[in-house]
Structures are given as structure tokens and as C-alpha cells.
A and B are shown apart, each in its own frame.
Chain A
Amino acid sequence: MTTLNIDHVSRWFGNVVAVNDITMTIGPGVTGLLGPNGAGKSTLINMMGGFLAPSTGTVTLDGAPVWRNEQIYKHIGIVPEREAMYDFLTGLEFVVANAELHGLGAKAAQRALATVEMEYAQDRKISTYSKGMRQRVKMASALVHDPSLLLLDEPFNGMDPRQRMQLMDLLRRMGAEGRTVLFSSHILEEVEQLAAHIEVVVAGRHAASGDFRRIRRLMTDRPHRYLVRSSDDRALAAALIADPSTSGIEVDLAEGALRIQAVDFGRFTALLPRVARDHGIRLLTVSPSDESLESVFSYLVAA
């Protein structure tokens, strides 16, 4: 059982506070580190991986400090966000080198490559790999020494849906085997599909922690705002306000649009097209006006 303890950790760069007094415990299973871009996820992962000293606070793995402790890497596997990875090597050469650096041999490398199903391309140069293949070879290099903690920084960035599913399956398997797996992401759906446990970081602060359903509810229960343009705005407004899923509608004359506030997200999204059809109104624009991640997250922080 491996537990990563982050205890009152802050990190600043000059006057900029990147991580602000975060305390969390990451235990076995898959944990998602969720937050918008620039929230401090990478800084936090760098500190968890022992590549950056906390300005204050401590990061420990089962009680052992992570910073300036090379021996800790016997237990940690790291999948960095960066693409660069000795492109002049073949996949096999790269993973073998990683195994050797752990004092292991080609056998461990071969097993890791089998785990990520990359044996078929192991003799090709890494420079010829697709994004998803690179990601899997990176995974293999992180798995050669059978680590109990796996840290992944934005592992799904730029992957196509099929590659994403494969990697999710793999991470799920790692979690089910009892490893402590932590990955960062700025996409809620990714985290939701994979992690039972979520840590949310916004603007360097620890905004929420716990079960994804609770966090999902926090995120979906807030009032949603939509900007809607239609062939008959007023008729549409009249029909919508009759339903309890909306709490307010403003006719924005300057914009030539309706500003709708919905309190029941699920019901409203089903209602809108039905009402429009029933009244013979054409919908021209339906856009969520505060769906940016930042606003979703800042709502969470306020909650």
C-alpha cells in the first residue's frame, strides 16, 4: 500500500504563487487531479515527483521525503507531459535503457512493452511514432520497475478517442492491481470516466476533494446560463418560462438574443428543442455562456 502525502505544500516563483497551501493524501487506486490550465497541476506533479522543492510544506511517500531522494524512484513511475524522449532510439532500445537505469534487464523491458501492447512497433524509431504510441512507450518506461506509484501529467492530451480508451483501460487495470495512480487533466469528462476519486485544483488552491459524483453534482447543480437566438425570441421565452427548469429569461435587444438561466440542467436541455419544435420556432444559436472551465471551477471554489 503506497500513500503519497502532500502536507501544507506551497510553491511560489518570485511573486507568483503557483501552489497555495495544499494538503492532500493520494492512496491506492486511480485519482484524478483536475483543474483548468495554469492552475498549478504541473507544479504540484513536479513536487510529487521530486523534481521541484516545495517553498514550504513536505511531500512524502510512505513517510519518506520525495525531494532530493533518488532512491524514491524505485517506487515511482513517471509519465511526463513533454514529448521528447530520445527519438533516435527504437521503442525497445528506449525501454531497455530505462530498465537498465533501474538496474534491470531486457526481460523487464519486454514485459513492460507487452503491458502497453507496443511489441508490434518496438523496433521502429521513436521519431516515427504517433502521439498515442509515444504515450504508450512512455508508460512502458514508467512501468519497467513495477512501481507502486504512477504519476502522469496530462496523459490524454492530443490523443484520439481510441488511444484514450486504451490508456484509460490500462490505468484502470493499474489501479485495480492496487497501485497508486495519479493523473492530471483539465477535462472533467476524462477524469470522470476514469477516476473514482478526484482532487480539484483551481488557481493554486485545493478547491475540492472526494468522490466524483459529489463533485459532478456540485458542478451541474449550479445555474447554467445560455445564449439563445431563434426565429421568434419572445414566443420561445414565454413557452420556456412556464417550465420550472428555467429561473429567468432576459430579452437582450442589443444582442438580438435571449439570455436564459436554467436551474435544472438535464431537464432544460431536453425541454428547449421540444418547445421549439412544438411552437414551430427555429433555433439559430444555442450556446452556453458560462461553460468555460474557469467559470465552472470558480463556481466550485465558491461552493
Chain B
Amino acid sequence: MYDPTVARLTYRALLGRRRALILGALPLLLIVIAVVVRVLVGADDQTAADLLGGLALATMVPIIGVIAGTGAIGPEIDDGSVVYLLSKPLKRPKIIYTKLIVAIGVTMAFSAVPTFVAGLILNGNGQQVAVSYTVAALVASIAYAALFLLLGTVSRHAVVFGLVYALVWEALFGSLVPGARTLSVQQWALAVGHKVTGGELITSDVSLTTATVLLIAVTVLATWYAGQKLRTLTPTGEE
């Protein structure tokens, strides 16, 4: 179910110079902030948790997810080059599955790894804060990549919709409307993170069971549906 050639093409498109710059900027910012906070405030578990929760998990992970998830297929559909994949005796779900693996890998590399590094800088993984948020970021990477890969397959405005979801729904709406939090990748990931720390530094509005079921359901359904959409996709012409 994994095609190394599709993966190679996807990696090279995703990590092209301009996109790699955007992908690299946010993690770099997080680490710089972590260093500044550590120098100014010193090692503090609550500050570390606030920063990793507010900046890393709530903002950086979804944005990286949008860039990697939509970027893994959206540009190819937009410019029509996807026709070179579609005109091959390849199962469409295989193309989607491969691109999902790549998108997950890139999202994890550019969000979970810097989260861990920033956590170490902030309080040296005191109370398991760094590890917990890293696990949460890893879990969120999978769901975001699947969700935004689907968005990139069905919409030409995937990046806009993705950012609206990530920033408005997850960050704003979720904090105002309690019910919205149940349907938030961030909260699901926090539930997993909470399990890892065991403490009260990381809390979630959803139970671990609900979170796990929803994470798996969203990932599987999004991936399946993207595969179905690709089966009937018409590459656009010049007209």
C-alpha cells in the first residue's frame, strides 16, 4: 500500500525551497521563544506547559499540518501534474496512503521534534511536560495530516479552509463554545498527553477513550474518502 516513487515525488515537492522555509520558520520561532523564556523566567513547569500547549500544540502543529497535508497533493491537482500519477496502473487509495505517510512524517518532523526540543529547553522535561506534549503533537500530526490531505484533495482553497479550521475552530471557537472542544483534534491529542504526564499540567475536555476513538475514526475516514475522491478526479485542462 506504499509506493516509494509517489513518496519521493511528494517529499521533493513538499520540501522544495520555499515551502521548506515556511515549514522551518515556525519551529525555529518556537525554539527561539523557548530560549528567551528560559533565560528570562528560568525553568518553570507551568510556564513550560502553557507555552507548549498554547503555542506549540494549539498553533504550530495545526499550521504545519495544513502546509504538509494540503501541500502533499493540492499543488499537483491545481497545476494538473497529478495526471502523471493518475495515468498509471496504480490504485488510487495507494497514492493517497503514500501521500498520507509522507504528510505525517513531515508534520511530525517539523512539529513534534521542535516541541520536544523546546520542552527540554524550557524545563528539561520536568514533570514529563516535554515528552507529554511531544506525544500529543505526534498524535495530532497523524489526524491533521489525514484531515488536511483530504481537504487538499477536494478543495482548491484547501490552505484557506485549513487555516480557518486550525485557527478559528481550534483556537477561538473551541475556547468559547464548550461543545466545539469535543470535535477538536487538539483536545483529543491533549487527552493522550494527559495520560502520559499523569499530572494536572495537561488537561483535556474529552476522555481518553472518546479521544482515541475519534482520532482513529477521523484519520481512517478522511483517508478512505480522499482515496474515493481521487478515483473520480478529473485533471483540469488549459481551458
Bound-complex Cα distance A130 to B92 (A): 32
B83 proximal to A (CB < 8 A): yes
Contact yes or no, A51 B235, CB < 8 A: yes
Contact yes or no, A86 B9, CB < 8 A: yes
Which B residue sits closest to A82, measured CB to CB? B80
Query: Max chain B CB contacts within 10 Å: which of A74, A86, A103?
Result: A86
Question: A80's contact among B5, B9, B83, B91, by CB below 8 Å, is which?
Answer: B83
Q: Which residues of B sit under 8 angstroms from A49, Cβ to Cβ? A: 87
Q: B6-22: which have CB < 8 Å to A?
A: 6, 8-9, 12-13, 16
Bound-complex Cα distance A72 to B86 (A): 11
Q: B67-92: which have CB < 8 Å to A?
A: 79-81, 83-92
Interface size classification for chain B: 20 to 34
Contact yes or no, A82 B87, CB < 8 A: no
Total residues of chain A contacting the partner, CB 8 A: 35
A141 proximal to B (CB < 8 A): yes
Contact yes or no, A100 B5, CB < 8 A: yes
Bound-complex Cα distance A141 to B231 (A): 21
Bound-complex Cα distance A89 to B8 (A): 11
CB proximity of A82 to chain B, nearest CB, Å:
4
Contacts A70-B92, A89-B12 given; indicate if A51 touches B83 (C-beta within 8 A): yes
Q: B126-179: which have CB < 8 Å to A?
A: none
Contact yes or no, A70 B89, CB < 8 A: yes
B44 proximal to A (CB < 8 A): no
B238 proximal to A (CB < 8 A): yes
Q: A71-91: which have CB < 8 Å to B?
A: 71-74, 76-78, 80-82, 84-86, 88-89
A52 proximal to B (CB < 8 A): yes
Bound-complex Cα distance A184 to B156 (A): 28
Q: Which residues of A sit under 8 angstroms from B16, Cβ to Cβ? A: 88
Q: B41-100: which have CB < 8 Å to A?
A: 79-81, 83-92
Question: B81's contact among A74, A81, A82, A100, by CB below 8 Å, is which?
Answer: A82
Total CB contacts across the A-B interface at under 8 A = 84
Contacts A73-B88, A76-B87, A101-B88 given; indicate if A81 touches B238 (C-beta within 8 A): yes
Contact yes or no, B86 A51, CB < 8 A: yes
Contacts A46-B237, A52-B234, A100-B5 given; indicate if A85 touches B84 (C-beta within 8 A): yes
Contact yes or no, A102 B88, CB < 8 A: yes
Bound-complex Cα distance A51 to B87 (A): 9
Question: A68's contact among B3, B232, B237, by CB below 8 Å, is which?
Answer: B232
| Interface residues of chain A: helix, strand, loop or mixed (majority) | loop
Contact yes or no, B5 A101, CB < 8 A: yes
Which B residue sits closest to A47, measured CB to CB? B234
Bound-complex Cα distance A49 to B87 (A): 8
Q: Which residues of B sit under 8 angstroms from A207, Cβ to Cβ? A: none
CB proximity of B193 to chain A, nearest CB, Å:
37
Q: Which residues of A sit under 8 angstroms from B83, Cβ to Cβ? A: 51, 78, 80, 82
Contacts A85-B84, A101-B85 given; indicate if A51 touches B234 (C-beta within 8 A): yes
Which B residue sits closest to A78, measured CB to CB? B87
Bound-complex Cα distance A222 to B16 (A): 56
Q: Which residues of A sit under 8 angstroms from B233, Cβ to Cβ? A: 51
A153 proximal to B (CB < 8 A): yes
Contact yes or no, B80 A53, CB < 8 A: no
Binding site for B on A (CB under 8 A): 37-38, 42, 46, 49, 51-53, 68, 70-74, 76-78, 80-82, 84-86, 88-89, 97-98, 100-103, 141-142, 153-154
Binding site for A on B (CB under 8 A): 3-6, 8-9, 12-13, 16, 79-81, 83-92, 231-239
Q: Please give 10 more A-B residue pairs, beta carbons under 8 A apart, in addition to A53-B232, A81-B238.
A: A46-B235, A68-B231, A70-B92, A72-B89, A82-B81, A84-B81, A86-B13, A88-B16, A101-B85, A101-B88
Going nearest first, the 4 A-B pairs with the smallest beta carbon separation are A84-B79, A82-B80, A101-B88, A100-B5
